[in-house]
Amino acid sequence: MSKATQIQINLLPWREELRKKRDVALLRGGIAALLLTGLAIFGVYQYINGLQENQNRRNAYLQTEISKLEKQLKEINELKRKRDNLIARMEVIQRLQNDRAEIVHMFDDLVQKLPPGVYLTEFERKGPKLKVEGVAQSNSRVSSFMQSLDSSSWFENPELNVINVTPADGRRVSRFTLNLAHKAQALDEQEDEGEDGNGRVSPK
């Protein structure tokens, strides 16, 4: 009886010690797991933070490049605006030169078409429409003048608007007003005749 009691007393401290060892091992395992989890979380955080920093650098680079492109686009648009203004000015100058050349040719042709006894007193132009006023020795001279204008390469559709027979210097003269139009293509045709196929002026 005493031996059994002694064995029972000796087993209790051993079991308690074993339980404590198990608790310590479990605690150490939990601490290790927490440390590993913390390290894993820290590693993931560092990785994500690195990705964010890399993306921020890329975004900053892209923003810088976009700003450069926007500046270049503004410069290109400004150059286009200046080019368009220059082209518009050149077109205005070209039109003025063409108009001046047309007027010279029209006056030259008008003088050549004047029959003897017909004198012009006024010439007015509004776009393609022309008005000519003058004095003729007779109505037949006015008719001859209109026929000459019909065959002109610079004028077309001559119409007699007004004709009055009035005395002047002891003679009767016909004062007339003609409406007609000029052929805008006449100058272009004349310039084309003076150029060869390569756009060079042919020798005369």
Report the chain's mean pLDDT, rounded to a whole number: 78
| pLDDT at res. 194 | 46
Structural domain range at position 118: 56-204
DSSP class of residue 137? Answer: S
19 or 59, greater pLDDT:
59
Give yes or no for residue 2 having a pLDDT over 70.
no
How many domains, the chain? 1
Q: Is 32 part of any domain? A: no
Rounded mean pLDDT, 1-28: 66
Tokens 């797991």 appear where?
Answer: 33
| pLDDT at res. 10 | 52
Give yes or no for residue 199 having a pLDDT over 50.
no
Q: Is 50 part of any domain? A: no
| pLDDT tens-place string over residues 148-195 | 888 887 888 888 887 777 776 667 888 899 888 877 654 455 445 444
Locate 81 and state its tokens: 């605006």
120 or 183, greater pLDDT:
120
Give yes or no for residue 76 having a pLDDT over 90.
yes
Name which of 142, 143, 107 is nearest 124 in CA terms: 107
Domain containing residue 76: CATH number: 3.30.1360.100
Kindly provide the residue ranges of all beta strands, DSSP E only, lying in 112-170, ordered along the sequence.
118-126, 129-136, 155-168
Q: Is 77 part of any domain? A: yes
Q: Is 23 part of any domain? A: no
Name which of 41, 59, 37, 60 is nearest 49 in CA terms: 41
Using an 8 Å Cβ cutoff, are 113 and 127 in contact? no
Distance CA 91, CA 100 (A): 14
132 or 166, greater pLDDT:
132
> Exposed (0-12), middle (13-18) or buried (19+): which is 67, by Cβ within 10 Å?
exposed
| pLDDT at res. 66 | 92
Give yes or no for residue 113 having a pLDDT over 90.
no
| pLDDT at res. 147 | 87
| pLDDT at res. 77 | 92
Q: Is 41 part of any domain? A: no
Q: Is 4 part of any domain? A: no
Q: Is 26 part of any domain? A: no
| pLDDT at res. 168 | 67
Q: Is 181 part of any domain? A: yes
